[in-house]
């Protein structure tokens, strides 16, 4: 009797209501914390109260716990019983409530949104080129104090993002509170498009998992906090990645590559997916057909680039911000594999970096012409990391395609391996690139990226980063075992 009653409760919407309610309370508490401490002032919680890191961490880990329980419950329901309309209503309502809280409170952990909006102000109000000048050159601006890290950096993102934040700056007459709200609303709409498109793709591949796809994205704490509250542009990478690959898969190559290139003009990292799309097309068509397909694609890429950069000119120093950022080295925000390599190297060579780990002190800019032991080690690590990444990247690009989801899975692993190995500056919101692709790729990839999100939130501290390669090594091993097992079964059946 008790077991039947328990099963009836589990199969109802009650667990979703309870888990959603508890998650809502945690978001509300984070909101109350910012209002209580800041009094509604515009600043990040961590900038003003560093000790609040422990509150953010503890409550965020609880959010991830209840998010995981919701995912497990949703998987069970998707397998055993049909998903009822009431489930969708409850999930959508909680998603909107989570976003409402995050829309209305000051940023929790990152001040990057202030830097982005300031870059738009440089272009519209000061009528200067944000790719050539830095915020610190406007020392009398009252908003400069909110930018605590990147005052000496010119714009590092693509021109479409710069034009977007510039438009927001114009619409709000440079009022920071209004600018922040408008930018968040734009990203909220884009997030809705990403979720809708992902559910649409999943419904084509496996209709039973469409509700799981919705929950996996719309309740994901890192995705919500860093998109809605932190206002990072990485959700645009998620949108252009899945839309571009989806159009290419559908045979609409011109539109697909155009969408991917729009993503490049937001954040250059999506360049990694262009060769994947090209190889996919080559495998489908002859060389002669490829020439016909490629000519208009090259034309639209050139045209989009010229139009996007036109307001900023075509100066070779447009990428000075990227060049400067690529030479930064901070031990605490290295991606996992370089972190391991540097840690092992410093241990072997006897370099004492204990205080760097403890205090997260920044190592000065590493100039390759200098021959200090640490700089030489980091130079070797950089070269080795790039070489390792290129090996994996080539394998992912050129290996034969298999099932319908393989193009999206391949896109996921390209981004994942890049973030594991190649960048020299890693932040947790970069994982947003992976999330839509992971959900389309299947349950295993969704759990993998969710687990990595917990490890690095709210910041990728070294002692947590060291776990990540083990997680991904286990995932690769499981994937390999499953692949070998599937081939063995086929051989036994004589297929």
Ordered DSSP codes for 108-128: SS--HHHHHHHHHHHHHTS--
Q: Is 42 helix (H, G, I), strand (E, B) or coil?
A: coil
CB atoms within 10 A of CB 123: 23
User: Residue 237 CA to chain centroid, in angstroms?
Assistant: 8
Residue with tokens 């389309």: 440
* 352 within domain boundaries: yes
* Residue-level pLDDT at 358: 47
* Residue-level pLDDT at 288: 76
Rounded-to-integer distance, Cα 160 and Cα 310, Å = 11
Name the helix (H) or strand (E) containing 385.
helix 373-398
Q: Which domain holds residue 395?
A: 329-424+461-495
* Residue-level pLDDT at 370: 35
Total tally of structural domains belonging to the chain: 1
393 touches 279 (CB < 8 A): no
Q: Is the dihedral of CA 447, 448, 452, 455 positive or negative?
A: positive
DSSP symbol at 82: P
User: Residue 255 CA to chain centroid, in angstroms?
Assistant: 23
* Residue-level pLDDT at 353: 59
155 touches 321 (CB < 8 A): yes
Token representation of residue 100:
């409402």
Rounded-to-integer distance, Cα 410 and Cα 127, Å = 42
325 touches 152 (CB < 8 A): no
For 357-370, b/e burial (b = at least 16 CB within 10 A) is eeeeeeeeebeeee
DSSP symbol at 365: P
CB atoms within 10 A of CB 285: 14
* 48 within domain boundaries: no
Rounded-to-integer distance, Cα 240 and Cα 259, Å = 6
* 350 within domain boundaries: yes
Closest CA relative to residue 310, chosen from 170, 159, 171, 166: 159
Token representation of residue 399:
């290996």
* 404 within domain boundaries: yes
DSSP symbol at 459: -
DSSP symbol at 174: T
pTM: 0.89
The gap between the terminal CA atoms of the chain, to the nearest Å, is: 48
Rounded-to-integer distance, Cα 420 and Cα 335, Å = 6
Closest CA relative to residue 131, chosen from 318, 307, 311: 318
pLDDT in tens, the chain (495 residues): 566 665 676 677 788 999 999 999 999 988 887 877 676 667 777 777 766 777 788 888 899 999 999 999 998 888 876 788 889 999 999 999 999 999 998 888 888 999 999 999 999 988 999 999 989 898 888 888 888 778 888 898 999 999 999 999 888 877 888 899 999 999 999 999 999 999 999 998 888 889 999 999 999 999 999 999 999 999 999 999 999 999 999 999 999 999 999 999 999 999 999 999 999 988 888 777 778 888 899 999 999 999 999 999 888 888 877 777 766 666 667 788 888 887 777 777 666 655 544 444 444 434 333 346 666 777 788 888 899 999 999 999 998 888 778 899 999 999 999 999 988 788 889 999 999 999 998 888 898 899 888 888 877 666 666 777 777 777 777 767 777 776 666 665 555
Q: Give helix then strand counts, H and E, for the chain.
A: 23, 0
Classify burial at 28, counting beta carbons within 10 Å of its beta carbon; exposed 0-12, middle 13-18, buried 19 or more. Answer: middle
* 289 within domain boundaries: no
Q: Is 363 helix (H, G, I), strand (E, B) or coil?
A: strand
Q: Is 404 helix (H, G, I), strand (E, B) or coil?
A: coil
Rounded-to-integer distance, Cα 410 and Cα 278, Å = 13
Closest CA relative to residue 385, chosen from 460, 454, 326: 326
* 212 within domain boundaries: no
Closest CA relative to residue 257, chosen from 305, 221, 219: 305
Closest CA relative to residue 193, chosen from 145, 143, 227: 227
Residue with tokens 């600043």: 43
Cα→Cα distances 144→119, 147, 163, 184, Å:
11, 6, 20, 20
Rounded-to-integer distance, Cα 472 and Cα 477, Å = 8
């Amino acid at each position: 009797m008790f077991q039947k009653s328990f099963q009836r409760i589990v199969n109802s919407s009650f667990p979703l209501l309870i888990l959603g309610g508890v998650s809502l309370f945690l978001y509300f508490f984070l909101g109350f914390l910012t209002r209580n401490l800041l009094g509604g002032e515009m600043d990040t919680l961590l900038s003003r109260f560093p000790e609040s890191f422990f509150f953010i961490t503890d409550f965020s880990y609880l959010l991830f716990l209840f998010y995981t329980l919701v995912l497990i419950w949703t998987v069970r329901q998707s397998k055993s019983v049909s998903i009822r309309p009431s489930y969708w209503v409850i999930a959508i309502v909680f998603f909107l409530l989570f976003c409402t809280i995050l829309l209305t409170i000051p940023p929790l952990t990152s001040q990057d949104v202030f830097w982005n909006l300031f870059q738009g102000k440089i272009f519209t109000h000061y009528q200067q080129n944000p790719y050539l000048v830095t915020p610190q050159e406007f020392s009398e601006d009252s908003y400069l104090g909110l930018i605590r890290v990147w005052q000496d950096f010119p714009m590092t993102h693509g021109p479409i993002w710069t034009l977007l934040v510039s438009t927001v700056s114009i619409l709000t007459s440079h009022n920071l509170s209004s600018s922040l709200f408008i930018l968040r609303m734009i990203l909220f709409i884009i997030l809705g498009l990403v979720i809708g498109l992902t559910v649409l793709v999943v419904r084509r591949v496996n209709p039973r998992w469409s509700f799981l796809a919705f929950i996996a994205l719309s309740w994901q704490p890192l995705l919500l906090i860093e998109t809605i509250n932190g206002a990072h542009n990485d959700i645009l990478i998620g949108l252009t990645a899945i839309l571009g690959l989806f159009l290419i898969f559908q045979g609409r190559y011109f539109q697909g590559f155009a969408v991917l290139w729009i993503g490049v003009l937001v954040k250059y990292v999506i360049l990694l997916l262009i060769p994947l799309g090209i190889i996919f097309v080559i495998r489908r068509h002859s060389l002669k057909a490829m020439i016909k397909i490629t000519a208009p694609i090259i034309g639209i890429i050139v045209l989009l680039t010229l139009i996007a950069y036109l307001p900023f000119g075509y100066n070779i120093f447009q990428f000075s911000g990227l060049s400067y950022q690529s030479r930064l080295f901070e031990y605490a925000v290295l991606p996992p594999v370089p972190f391991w390599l540097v840690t092992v190297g410093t241990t072997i060579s006897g370099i004492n970096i204990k205080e760097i780990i403890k205090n997260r002190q920044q190592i000065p800019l590493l100039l390759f012409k200098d021959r200090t032991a640490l700089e030489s080690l980091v130079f070797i690590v950089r070269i080795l990391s790039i070489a390792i990444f290129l090996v994996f990247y080539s394998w992912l690009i050129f290996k034969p395609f298999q099932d319908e989801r393989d193009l999206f899975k391949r896109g996921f692993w390209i981004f994942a391996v890049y973030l594991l190995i190649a960048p020299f500056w890693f932040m947790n919101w970069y994982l947003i690139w992976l999330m839509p692709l992971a959900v389309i790729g299947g349950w295993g990839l969704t759990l993998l990226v969710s687990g990595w999100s917990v490890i690095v939130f709210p910041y990728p501290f070294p002692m947590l980063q060291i776990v990540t390669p083990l997680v991904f090594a286990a995932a690769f091993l499981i994937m390999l075992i499953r692949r070998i097992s599937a081939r063995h079964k086929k051989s036994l059946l004589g297929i």
